[in-house]
Structure 1
């Protein structure tokens, strides 16, 4: 069992699933002049293959409260419910809130990326490998107002 294999730089590309790498490359292609892209830089049509694993989280810039804005169908299935519109702190999918906030906080405060590869129980209590990339979105290049996640799951070998 693996917990919190967390990386905050591109070194994860050496070991991540090819779908995570492809999503990251799409996000990075939107970072013009080393600026954090905004939500409007992404067309859902160009993201069709990723949509089931996408989660968008709104960030309250003043309080840093996080709210699920959109949760993809794969993520809903793994969780066993759709937390859209609800607080991330009350509905996170991680081993602890500290683990979850470690990723969100890094992305929000640094406008950097976070890659997390952890074993987490799904809604049926079965352990799954959950590989997630967290990337920032910003309307002004200064404040992160959305954290976009892309996750995939795999069976954990015993």
Structure 2
């Protein structure tokens, strides 16, 4: 996987630090308890052939309802190599300083930050079990730090990814 690089300034002053982007099955030993809970819930919903669950199947589960405010879902837009934010939990929007629902990754990011974010989504849909990005991101409110971001593919058609489920694990400084 890719990862180690320079610090990138994102929208609103977010600082995206050097990162390790690791397949989930290798990353769980290093991940937070909350990240592991979400991954385990997603993994339990996978089909017999290891097919990612659909968004509807994910929505039907309640194993991690207490973490829903920190989740977001993007829709894959293959024709433009982009991802549109379909829903963003309250805490996920709060940590960003805005709610990107309805916007695409390309609407929000540019330059190095765009390449960094697209790479995370691209790696998540290329790997059947998703990835964890262990970059340390300083949030614009300067009170929180994002330690890891979980990216999990979802599939409406049972064949290829159609959505990406994202969880950001934050701590207060």
Normalised by the length of structure 2, the TM-score is 0.79
DSSP 3-state at the match of 1:62: helix
Q: Partner of 2:124 in structure 1?
A: 107
In the other structure, the counterpart of 1:84 is: 101
Residue correspondences, number: 154
Structure 1 residue 143, shift from structure 2 partner: 2.1
1:42 aligns with one of 58, 61, 79 = 58
Q: Distance between the aligned counterparts of 2:98 and 2:114, measured in 1?
A: 18
SS at match of 1:147: strand
1:118, distance to aligned residue in structure 2 (A): 1.5
Distance 1:45 1:25, change over 3 A: closer
Deviation at 1:21, TM superposition (A): 0.2
Shift, 1:59, TM fit: 0.7
Q: CA deviation at 1:31?
A: 0.7
Q: Which residue number corresponds to residue 113 of structure 2?
A: 96
SS at match of 1:149: strand
Instruction: After TM superposition, list the pairs within 5 Å mapping 1:118-129 onto structure 2.
Output: 118-125=135-142, 128-129=145-146
Q: TM-score, normalised by structure 1?
A: 0.86
Query: Which sections of structure 2, spanning at least 5 residues, go unmatched?
Result: 1-6, 8-16
Whole-Å separation in 1 of the counterparts to 2:147 and 2:87: 18
Structure 1 counterpart SS, 2:125: helix
- The CA distance in 2 between the partners of 1:40 and 1:127, in whole Å, is 31
Secondary structure, counterpart of 1:23 in structure 2: helix
1:133 aligns with one of 150, 168, 172: 150
Could you tell me whether the CA contact under 8 Å between 1:76 and 1:82 is conserved in 2?
A: yes
Counterpart position of 2:3: none
Aligned: 1:21 with 2:36: yes
Secondary structure of 1:89's match? helix
Distance 2:157 2:61 in 1: 24
Aligned to 1:73: 90
1:112/1:13 CA distance change after superposition, 3 Å: closer
Which residue of structure 2 aligns with residue 53 of structure 1? 70
RMSD between aligned residues: 2.2
Which 5+ residue runs of structure 1 have no aligned equivalent?
none
